[in-house]
Copies of this chain bind each other. A is one copy, B any other.
Amino acid sequence: MMNVPLTVGSLLERAEKFFPKKMVISRTLSGIHRLTYKEIGERTRRLASALEKLGVKQGDKVGTFAWNHHRHLEGYFAAPGMGAVLHTINIRLSAEHITYIVNNAEDKVLLIDEDLLPLIEKVSDQFNCVKAYVIMTDKDVLPETSLAPVYSYEELLKEGDPGFEFVKDIDENAPAGMCYTSATTGNPKGVLYSHRGIVLHSYAAGLADTIGLSESDVCLAVVPMFHVNAWGLPFAATWFGSTQVMPGPQFTPKLLVELIEQEQVTLTAGVPTIWLGVLKELETGNYDTSSLRVILCGGSAAPRGMIKTFESKYNIPFLHAYGMTETTPLVTVSRLKSYQENLDLEEKLDIRSKQGLLVPGLEMKVVSGDGEVEWNGQEMGELLIRGPWIADEYYRDERTKDAFRDGWLYTGDVATVDEEGVIKLVDRTKDLIKSGGEWISSVDLENALMAHEAVFEASVISVPHPQWQERPLACVVLKEPFKGKVNKQELLDFIAPQFAKWWLPDDIIFMEEIPKTSVGKFLKRALRDQLKDHLVNNS
């Protein structure tokens, strides 16, 4: 067969050729912009030629610091199209981490949203690699800035070459994109995405049995473009000629629902907290969301009740998926098999609330100390993944050796697999409780506790125990009206019917607040440090 490399540039070329009239609908600070793929194509080529003039060479990193909008999309294709690497920087990182990753990636040029300038200005004197700052603004005049040298995105495009040719003879294993994932301790860890990985991932996203992304879709990626390439949707949606709607800066649930209604969005994608907000908005307003064929939800587990409400009350099908920065990210999608369609509604919801089935092209193993676990929905083990869009290292980072071993990615996620091969995540390896050689899921206990009407938040951690090595300990924040009115035993009695006796927490500690990470996850490490002697002293 012909030796034709899989390249990111070819994805946009297909949209330019076959879907030149289809639209990208982009919200920026100045309002809604409507551009055809023909225009996006020309602008992308102009951008690529401008980057070249700024000194960007094949293999160089081009950083973006931006919301989801058409200029960011142009960067998605311009950098890989010229053989450079698109490095999407998470705008929510700390100043320290932004500095670290820009320098670790050695970004040559940064494309920055106007409203995000202050975040970069604060740290730019620490950058030791950036040769040019490009401001993505709608205005004719550049804003005042301490950055230098600084360029206007639109001015650069005016001088750029709309006929710039994307590189064709590039090695498909060369990097095309890059994203950093935050670590529990220390600096974020960089992941490189190859041309091959992104194209194969785009195929995977277009399969009828996964997301089924199609030309007929109007795709609203709410998941940020600085977060694992917005789950790869901008690449795949462009390739297939889907209409894309990009929500821009500082959107609200209300704005999202309005976009869905106005632009007749068919597919939208984001994390559970987004959909909790959207659900609240749907309950207050009178919106027509009938264009939606699916809400794609990942990033963390979607509450079963939320899925049910969307489907039964608003008739919007929910699609649960799982992946991580290291996996480009699509790993599983939770769809029913055809012979499960006859199950009753609750049974179907049980299955669809899990993380789902491995997408075609990947391999998985779930291993505990004794080897691969049985597929019985009970036995727990760490999920290992392998495949052509799975990273094989952290960029210039010695933590590579912990996560990538024997050709597998050790995800750090603990899962069960049922008889049908459906994965359910039960915990992070480091949060799992190992009691007398048996594993206990902190997540299951937390979910059970949080189902109690008095509980606002619950975090279950593992603490050392003289006899059982580790035992679960629950940290609970009560809702205001219930404070002082609910005791430990009441909560333990409430969850007891759902668990084996030895799963129940040895103690419940009521707190005013549970410490959290910058992205709002429980900081269990802090709790473990604080409470490490609790059972030793009290036993």
| Number of copies of this kind of chain in the complex | 2
Q: With A14-B360, A216-B338, A360-B239 in contact, do A3 and B392 touch (Cβ < 8 Å)? A: yes
Which interface residue of A173, A204, A206, A240 has the most chain B CB atoms within 10 A? A206
Contact between chains at B173 and A3 (CB < 8 Å) = yes
Q: With A18-B421, A212-B208 in contact, do A1 and B388 touch (Cβ < 8 Å)? A: yes
| A358 interface residue (CB < 8 Å to B) | yes
Give 18 CB contacts A-B under 8 Å.
Answer: A1-B173, A1-B192, A1-B194, A1-B196, A1-B197, A1-B389, A1-B390, A2-B390, A2-B391, A2-B409, A17-B421, A200-B203, A203-B203, A203-B360, A207-B240, A208-B208, A209-B214, A241-B337
Query: Contact flags (1/0) for A253-274 with B, using CB distance below 8 Å?
Result: 0000000000000000000000
The 3 closest A-B pairs by CB, nearest first: A203-B203, A208-B212, A216-B338
Contact between chains at A212 and B215 (CB < 8 Å) = no
Q: Which residue of B lies closest to A404 (CB)?
A: B2
| A319 interface residue (CB < 8 Å to B) | no
Contact between chains at A387 and B4 (CB < 8 Å) = yes
| A275 interface residue (CB < 8 Å to B) | no
Rounded to whole angstroms, the CA-CA distance of A216 and B2 in the bound complex is 33
Question: Which of the residues B3, B213, B357 comes within 8 Å of A18, measured between beta carbons?
Answer: B357
| A320 interface residue (CB < 8 Å to B) | no
Q: For A240, list chain B residues within 8 Å (CB).
A: 207, 209, 360
Contact between chains at B203 and A214 (CB < 8 Å) = no
Contact between chains at B203 and A208 (CB < 8 Å) = no
Q: Measured between C-beta atoms, what is the minimum distance from A196 to chain B in Å?
A: 7
Which interface residue of A1, A4, A206 has the most chain B CB atoms within 10 A? A1
| A6 interface residue (CB < 8 Å to B) | yes
Q: For A14, list chain B residues within 8 Å (CB).
A: 358, 360
Residues in A259-317 with C-beta less than 8 Å from chain B: none
Contact between chains at B421 and A391 (CB < 8 Å) = no
| A369 interface residue (CB < 8 Å to B) | no
Q: For A196, list chain B residues within 8 Å (CB).
A: 1
Q: For A197, list chain B residues within 8 Å (CB).
A: 1
Q: Which residue of B lies closest to A218 (CB)?
A: B338
Contact between chains at B208 and A2 (CB < 8 Å) = no
Contact between chains at B2 and A388 (CB < 8 Å) = yes
Contact between chains at A209 and B215 (CB < 8 Å) = yes
Rounded to whole angstroms, the CA-CA distance of A209 and B361 in the bound complex is 19
Rounded to whole angstroms, the CA-CA distance of A14 and B210 in the bound complex is 15
Query: Contact flags (1/0) for A1-12 with B, using CB distance below 8 Å?
Result: 111101000100
| A386 interface residue (CB < 8 Å to B) | yes
Contact between chains at A4 and B204 (CB < 8 Å) = no
Q: Which residue of B lies closest to A191 (CB)?
A: B1
Query: Contact flags (1/0) for A366-394 with B, using CB distance below 8 Å?
Result: 00000000000000000000111111100
Which interface residue of A18, A197, A360, A361 has the most chain B CB atoms within 10 A? A360
Q: For A209, list chain B residues within 8 Å (CB).
A: 206, 214-215, 240
Q: Which residue of B lies closest to A207 (CB)?
A: B206
Rounded to whole angstroms, the CA-CA distance of A487 and B509 in the bound complex is 102
Rounded to whole angstroms, the CA-CA distance of A357 and B240 in the bound complex is 11
Rounded to whole angstroms, the CA-CA distance of A386 and B17 in the bound complex is 15
| A166 interface residue (CB < 8 Å to B) | no
| A19 interface residue (CB < 8 Å to B) | yes
Query: Contact flags (1/0) for A135-157 with B, using CB distance below 8 Å?
Result: 00000000000000000000000
Q: Measured between C-beta atoms, what is the minimum distance from A355 to chain B in Å?
A: 14
Q: For A208, list chain B residues within 8 Å (CB).
A: 206-208, 212-214
| A231 interface residue (CB < 8 Å to B) | no
| A193 interface residue (CB < 8 Å to B) | yes
| A466 interface residue (CB < 8 Å to B) | no
